[in-house]
Structure 1
C-alpha cells in the first residue's frame, strides 16, 4: 500500500519541488523584498526559528479541528440517514440544507461569537458547519443508490426495511461516505483557522493575524504551509481508514 501511494504521489511532489525552485530563483533574480514575497528558503528558516512558539498554536488548532471534524462528520452521517429512512424528510429538508450553504461561514461566525461568547463552543460550531454538509450529501447519494438486483432479492426473501438499511444500503454507501469525509477533512482545518480569526488567544489563525499585522509575510506563509500540511495529513488518514474499512467497491455497471 505504501508503494502504491508513493507511485501516485511522486508526480505532484516533483511538480511542487519544481514550482518552489522556480519561486526561489524568480524572487532571487528579481530582488523582491522579503516583506512582499519571501523566498521559500526564507520561509523555511523563519518556520524553524518560530518552531518553539508554533507548538502551542498548532496543538490548539489540531485539537479543535479533530473535535469539530468528528462532530460534523457524525452529524452529517446522522442527518443523511434520517433523510433517507424517514419518508418525506428528504423532500422537506434537503433543499433547506442546500440553501444553508449559501450563507458564508465567515459571515455567520460573528453571530456565533455574539450568541455563545469567545469560548470553545462557537469554534466547534463553525467547524461542524463546514464539515457536515459534504458528508450529508455524499452519504445521502450512496444510501439512495444501492445495488438494484440485491435490493430486489432482499425484498423477495422478505427483508424488513431496517434489514435493507443495515445489510445493504449502509454498507453500499460507505465509499460515498468516505468521499464526503475526505472533502470535509480538507475543509476542517481552514474552518478551525476561520474560527480562531474571530476570537482566540492561540492557534494557527491567531499566529497568522499577528504576522499580518506586523507585515511578516514570511510568517504568514509559514502558517499557510502548516494549514496545508495538516489538511493533507487528515486527508491521508481518511484515505488509510477507507482502505482498511472498505475492501470492496460497488459495481456501478
Structure 2
C-alpha cells in the first residue's frame, strides 16, 4: 500500500515542501515549490498511477512534475520511472554509472554486507521475487556537481557510489540531502544492505557528512538529522 508518511513533514523555508511516500518497499519523495514539483525516486513497477495520485492529492496536476530523478538504478527506485514519464511528461534523470542497470529488465542484486543479507539476496533471485522493470535510456545523464536550478530546485547532484556505481545524493542549499540508499535508516542509521563497492560506500558516507547536512532523507526509513549521521560514521570519517 502506498501512503504519504505519517511522520511530521519537515519544512525548511516558506517555498519548499518535502513529502515522503512509502511505496511498500522504499521511499519516493515529492518535492514541491512555487516553480513546480520534482520526484526523487520512482517506486516499484506498476506504482506510477498510485504515485501520481499522491501528487494530485497535494494539489498538483501530473504535468507539474518537472523531473523524475532516480538516485540509482534499482527496481525499488526506478521501477515505475517509464510509466511516470508517460503520465507526467517529465524527463528521467539518472547517473551515467547506473545506465547499464536500467538497460536490462532483470535486476542483479549486489553482494550483501553479511551472510544473512546474502541469503536474502539468494532467495529473491532464486524464486523470482523481483518483477522485471520497463527498460529505458535516461533522458538526462547526471554528473557530480550538476545543478538542478533549471528544474526549479536550488540543489546539486553529489556522486555517492558504493551501493551502485552510479548512486547519487541530492543536496539542497538549505541543508536537506536526499541520500538514496547510500545511507539507510531502518532500525538504525547504517550503510546499505547491499553494495557493489564497500570502500566507495564508506567514502560516500564521509562525503555526505562533509556536506554538513541539516537533515537527510533516505531511500529506506525515516528522515534523520546530522547528529544521527555523526554517531554512525563520525569515528570512521575522522580516522581517515
Q: State whether TM-score is above 0.5.
A: no
Query: TM-score, normalised to structure 1's length?
Result: 0.24
Which of 1 and 2 has greater Rg?
1
Structure with a larger share of its residues in strand: 2
Query: TM-score, normalised to structure 2's length?
Result: 0.25
